[in-house]
Amino acid sequence: MTDFPFDIVGFDLDGTLLNSLGDLGVALNHALSLEGRAAIPKDAVRDLVGGGARKMLAKGLEVTGGSVSDARLTELHQALIDFYSDHIAVETRLYPGGEAMLQGLAARGVKIAVVTNKLERLAVKIFAEMELSHHFFTVIGGDTLGPGRAKPRPDLIELMLERAGGVPIRAAFVGDTTYDTGAAAAAGVPCVAVSFGFNDRPPQELGATAVIDHFDELIPTLERIGAAAETA
């Protein structure tokens, strides 16, 4: 198939492609326990995810007794990362319809990328352990370009476009938070938001081009976005 409107589709990882809430929650609570803090229930962890593990930890500390020094936050963050790396795909799964959706995009000749604020090495590891790496032509992490370059800045999505061969490339992005929609908008790329992720605002208020409730809807939604762009 060659008439699909996008050459590249990029995905956020946590809360978009993968439901990683269980493993993130266990790692977060491990770090909090080192500071003598109470565990946070899984459903409450959902509200803390977004912007990377350090931000998640900082938010977790705030809601369990208050912030700590930057030095201590760095220590706890490293403990969280070390624990998470060793338990990265225990509960984590693709969201329903994810495998068929990835196969459907590939059948249409689409290159698929991951652009996440998770550390690149952890993103690479999680896909390797889940035997999903073959789906992606590139995996870009929040640290790939160095400090201050992660979403909602457009830099990582722009890097995705560069790695795909430069312009002109028809690209779309899929995410679940304002970090994703903000980065896509800044990069000039349409963004589809998933309502089943770790949304930091109500899905319809994320500023996405469209919102889907299941991955079965993604390919038809991208086709509609592409058709509307051609009409405009």
Which of the residues are catalytic?
Answer: 12
Element containing residue 102 per DSSP (H, E): helix 98-107
Strand spans (E) along 74-230: 93-94, 111-115, 138-140, 171-175, 191-194, 210-212
CA–CA distance, 62 with 55 (Å, rounded to integer): 11
CA–CA distance, 102 with 2 (Å, rounded to integer): 16
Single-letter residue type at 16: T
Single-letter residue type at 182: G
Residue 40 CB contacts under 8 Å (≥ 6 apart), including other chains? 25, 28, 29, 32, 48, 60, 63, 64
